[in-house]
Structure 1
Amino acid sequence: MEMTSAFTLNVRLDNIAVITIDVPGEKMNTLKAEFASQVRAIIKQLRENKELRGVVFVSAKPDNFIAGADINMI
């Protein structure tokens, strides 16, 4: 099964990166072990941008940011 990324990256014109978390198919964003490699890939990409001034994490969910770790991982 292919894992869809829970993160999207947008670098604004003012060189501020906005990383949006939106766990597909879930009412709330919960952290999963697979997300570590996704975040590492985004950070690697951001480190290559010497013009970058800052990074902001936001949620695409209207009423929450991150609920915590996915209990099903335990």
Structure 2
Amino acid sequence: MKDVVDLSRCVGHAQCAFLAPEAFRRHGEEALMYDPNPDDARHHQVLRAAAACPVQAILVDELQAQHAPAEVSPP
């Protein structure tokens, strides 16, 4: 999983830091530090943090490398 915070949208509510403190943390009064590649153990926390962001500044990309391609049935 990868996550990205759009720091131009982030206004510092810090809901992410409360919900996933190992992945997101405040640095001073206005800066947000985050782990762009949190481990799988933090998966649920990061998803909750992204959903709780009031300005939707957190984007999560879930890489599903082990899924087989979908089969297409003939017309």
> Which of 1 and 2 has greater Rg?
2
Query: TM-score, length-normalised on structure 1?
Result: 0.31
Query: TM-score, length-normalised on structure 2?
Result: 0.31
Q: Higher strand fraction: Structure 1 or Structure 2?
A: 1
